[in-house]
Amino acid sequence: MSGMGAIAQGTDVGGSLGFPSAATGAVTVKPGLGRTPAWNPSQSAERGLLAQLMSVQGVICREVRDVRLAMKSVVTYDPHDPWQVPLPFEGPALDQPIRIGFTKNTDQFEAHPAVTKALNAARDCLVDAGYIVDEIVTPDIGEIGETGYRALMGEINVLMLDDIRTHGSAEINRMFDEYFELFPPFEGEELLHQMARRSHFIRQWNLLLEDYPLVLTPFLPSPTYAWNRDAEGKDGIMEVLGCGIWSFAMNYMGLPAGIVSPSMHDGLPVAVQMVGRRFREDMILDALEAIETRTGIMAHKLFDRERA
């Protein structure tokens, strides 16, 4: 998605809606678990449990209003998906003003000044729009992200690795070898225990979201990465996927999260993430639109840059 198409559809298990949006200045909201239907009529076997809990269908568009329009269609109920909950897209109105939690925490990774600038710009837009924005401490995002990575690698190791070895290219096999080195798969009883801890992480975030229905977070600790960077060895994997803990953790917990780019660095967009309560993608889009209205539609800025 580079803004050339009005709507792009994506399947996101660890950031496949967020990463393209962040890299191209597009907008998305990764739906939470049970929000959009998923079913592959040609599948020969059911997906692993974590894949079922983490993978969602969503859209990428040039601007927030297009994401909202598309999502109202995407959430149409389909009984083929046993996880989907048939709910309208808009939820009940909350008491005003809405409180938003705000964090610049990037865990073990150093935050680039351009990311801090983007987060501050987003915060200022939200305050101007009438939200109350408080800087907060969230549950340990590094622990959640790493646990999620290793648990998913454990499931892939059991259920998918034979197919990857048989049908994957040499490059894909090399990359999975590096994934397994960087995020050692949980195995056996440990995998089951760690998957059980997922409920603990979700409970922590549910309690936080009771006080702050939305949380503004970094997406990545650095500005847009170079093309194909995640295929350039372990350093490249860590720069893109390894440090994408804010993205991956939300997939692991099944929480919705939106992406918008309030600023640029060296001519490229710098994205931030907005996390919300389950089934409140509408509120996430409201907040993203408040930012977009005040900073401008990034796709337009990028097209203007090319015309200059």
Residue ranges in the chain whose pLDDT is less than 50: none
Q: What is the pLDDT of residue 308?
A: 60
| Residue 64, in any domain of the structure | yes
Which tokens is 49 given?
């449990």
| Residue 2, in any domain of the structure | no
Which tokens is 205 given?
């975030």
Nearest CA to 264 out of 223, 222, 217, 219 is that of: 223
Nearest CA to 189 out of 156, 151, 232, 133 is that of: 151
For 23-45, what is each residue's pLDDT tens digit? 999 999 999 999 999 988 998 89
Q: What is the pLDDT of residue 230?
A: 87
Helices and strands per DSSP (H, E), number in the chain: 13, 8
| Residue 261, in any domain of the structure | yes
54 close to 31: Cβ distance less than 8 angstroms? no
Q: Which domain holds residue 113?
A: 7-293
Q: What is the pLDDT of residue 2?
A: 57
| Residue 118, in any domain of the structure | yes
Q: What is the pLDDT of residue 88?
A: 96
Q: What is the pLDDT of residue 226?
A: 86
For 98-131, what is each residue's pLDDT tens digit? 999 999 999 999 999 999 999 999 999 999 999 9
Q: What is the pLDDT of residue 224?
A: 86
| Residue 300, in any domain of the structure | no
Contacts 24+ apart (CB under 8 A), 170-173: 171/231
Q: What is the pLDDT of residue 3?
A: 60
Q: What is the CATH number of the domain that holds 132?
A: 3.90.1300.10
Cα distances from 242 to residues 31, 51, 53, 174, 260, in angstroms, run 22, 19, 20, 16, 21
The total domain count for the chain is 1
